[in-house]
Chains A and B, each alone.
Chain A
Amino acid sequence: MSVLAFDRVGIRYGAHRALSEFSLNLAPGEAVALIGGTGSGKSSASLAALGLLHAGASLEGTVRREGRVAMIFQEPLLALNPLMTIGAQVAEAVTARHAMKHRAAAAEAARLLAEVGLDPTAIPPQRYPHELSGGQRQRVAIAIALASEPAVLIADEPTTALDPETATQVMALVARLVRERHMALLLVTHDLDLARGIADRIVLLDHGHVIETGPLPAILEAPRTAALLERMHHRPQRRRSQPDTPPVLQAIGLQHGYGARTVIAGVNLALHAGQIVGLVGSSGEGKSTLLRLVLGLEHPQHGQVLIDGHDLHKARGADLRGLRRKVQAVFQDPGASLDPRWRVGRIVAEPLGLLEPRLPPAERDARVCAVLARVGLPEDAASRLPGAFSGGQRQRIALARALVVEPEVIVLDEATSALDAHVRAEILDLIASLADEGLAFLFVTHDRSMIEGLADRLYRLSAGKLIAQDLPPRAPREP
């Protein structure tokens, strides 16, 4: 008997096939990890299990459910209502399952919150989500999932927004709950280490196809497993940087807030030529604000951002353009960071307006051509619109735009999270080789395992402050 069964499930979004011939049976009490990179179809499979596919998706085959299916998401902050207390949110889920009196629901909610490790004396149910840490929010989300007494729990990247210690604790909680409640678990992740401790079986997905399936640890011996894992946990070769030069970008005592809320509470950061500095942190911890301050898109309430020793926020006119030339950025979603109505050549040439004196048109075109070739785009790319390119190619266009003025620092805001494993590995190699040529990178990301393999230094932004993180010793990692 199985509580969740996929029978030859296929999912298409228009012409794009996200999942093909996917079959999987989950028995009660069984834990299966669905592992794959971005674009592998693993999230589509979990949405199909919940019956939550988008309106534009078409489903082939059947998904059979015995009993209820509940889900916990990657970003607990987005899964919770910011205007309701955590107790009320859990109670709401309880009454959705069983009609009961307000007081009984509140008592049940308190019991569930205690079950997920939120001790009522320390974290009373009257708290709001913003008063909790990332790990505590994820525990609330788990309590809400438990309220429906599910037979199957789906966890989609439940720990990527958390620091490693909290992630371990949350996964231990999930493992305990699955065991105690005899639930089936479908863990959707790109992180093999996460699956290792908890899963009975592993299903490896790549481009919508199951490429390997089997119990741990035997599956790790399969040749296709090794190839996929190498791509997913790609670690580009890097030369060691020499940080004896003065910093190219320096943040000193940065503070910023909105209204009464302090978002950035005293950040000091120095970036040297050829360095890659990683920055991780949950949503709502101020990563975007910090980036906007460092890029000079927003003025800090206190503190300075120095580019080669010059204050970015005090510069005006030609001085400001000179500093802007040195710091460029690549954003998360290449679909949103390229003007859909501009041709690629014009997009990439836009920052050339920062150069003094202005380049003659022929030289501009030559520069654009050269930089498009540098990021591996076809020669005719300049005359096309961004819509004619894939996500990975668009991100190369965004990178070309950042590179065209030969900056000293590039800020990457989740610049690889929208890319599939193959493309991401190529982009990471490109970033590593640019860093070896002396370019400095500030890389903001959710993906801790990826940045650990790339960065020279790693920080976590928590409560508006930077906390230095340990990096594993740089050696080729065995899968």
Chain B
Amino acid sequence: MRRIDPALATGAALTALFVLAALIAPLWTPYDVAAIDIAARLQGPSTRHWLGTDQFGRDEFSLVMAGASVSLGVAGSAIAAALALGVPLGLVASARAGWLDDTLMRTADVLFAFPGLLLAILLSAVLGPGAIDAALAIALFNVPVFARVARGAALPIWSADFIAAAQLAGRSRSAIALAHVLPNMAAPIIVQASIQAGLALLGEAGLSYAGLGVQTPAPSWGRMLADAQTLIGTAPRLAVVPGLAIIIAVAGFTLLGDGLARASRGKGKH
């Protein structure tokens, strides 16, 4: 008897919707997002334009799709980079108790002490605005998160009997870390990656909103939101659409992460 967790199913569906839109957008959108059609500006939803058009007559639905690509690109590469750096650091810290562990974890503490988004804004301001810089900034404040989670997941594995058995089999500590510890800590890291992806999306949207993320003419949900601000009285739809898109994507990843966490806990219990 297998019951499906509704939160997990919702999260998976929303995430799939977002990823699908992001993957299709570079190949096909209903309209060219760069095509300006002043005659058709600020139209409401219709059969031709499902979500209406913006102040330059661009198709809002196409813009949202293209924005998904940008968000996934920035957030995805940021999370990938943070994983690639944070997980090995956490694994090393777990394998070598002592000064190395202490140094790595105290450095992580210092990074944690900075509000993440503020750090990203600071970095974007220093490095200059742009998609790559935004991804770097988001990656940086995710590295200590993954280092922490990886270390926490690895520590109990190190005390398992199969590690002692591997030591008796003459395996070196680094070989054990790669062959036994790393594969067994995948579950909590995948869960955390999903939750952090949601936060990274939010970070990307925030940076773009502040003008520190993706630059014109590439569409971005954060900037769509900023541009809509001046028209909030005449066309509130232009603010609601990217806002909803952000909520759907962030909620999707967060629910997915929570659901996966519950699923892996449940499996451990029975």
Contact = CB atoms under 8 A, between A and B. Distances in A.
Interface of A: 13-14, 55-56, 292, 295, 297, 320-321, 324-325, 327-329, 331-333, 336-342, 350-351, 353-354, 398, 401
Nearest to B181: A339
Interface string B170-185: 1100000000100110
A386 B183 CA distance: 15
A407 to B, nearest CB: 9
B110 interface: no
Instruction: Report the 3 A-B pairs with minimum CB-CB distance, sorted nearest first.
Output: A337-B161, A351-B169, A331-B161
B14 to A, nearest CB: 30
Contact of A354 (B161, B164, B170, B180): B170
B270 interface: yes
Nearest to A398: B165
A56 B270 CA distance: 7
Contact of B168 (A14, A341, A351): A351
Given A331-B165, A333-B161, 18 more contacts: A55-B269, A56-B270, A295-B168, A297-B164, A297-B168, A321-B170, A324-B168, A325-B170, A329-B168, A338-B162, A339-B162, A339-B166, A340-B184, A350-B166, A350-B171, A351-B170, A354-B170, A401-B169
Contacts of A324: 168-170
Interface residues of B, number: 16
B172 to A, nearest CB: 10
Interface class of chain B by DSSP: helix
A337 B168 CA distance: 12
Contacts of B161: 331-333, 336-337
A248 to B, nearest CB: 16
A329 B164 CA distance: 9
A295 B170 contact: no
Contacts of B164: 292, 295, 297, 329, 331, 337
Nearest to B169: A351
A315 B270 CA distance: 43
B49 to A, nearest CB: 51
B180 A339 contact: yes
B181 to A, nearest CB: 10
Interface of B: 160-162, 164-171, 180, 183-184, 269-270
Given A295-B168, A350-B169, A14 B162 contact: no
B171 to A, nearest CB: 7
A353 B169 contact: yes
Contacts of A341: 183-184
A136 to B, nearest CB: 30
A353 to B, nearest CB: 6
Nearest to A353: B170
5 contacts: A13-B270, A14-B270, A338-B165, A342-B180, A353-B171
B42 to A, nearest CB: 56
Contacts of B269: 55-56
A285 B147 CA distance: 36
Contact of B167 (A297, A332, A338, A339): A297
A337 B169 contact: no
A320 B169 CA distance: 11
A328 B183 CA distance: 24
A350 to B, nearest CB: 4
Contacts of A327: 168
Contacts of A398: 165
A401 B161 CA distance: 13
Given A353-B169, A354-B169, A339 B270 contact: no
Most chain-A Cβ atoms within 10 A of its Cβ — which of B160, B161, B167, B180?
B161
Contacts of A292: 164
Contacts of B171: 350, 353
A401 B165 contact: yes
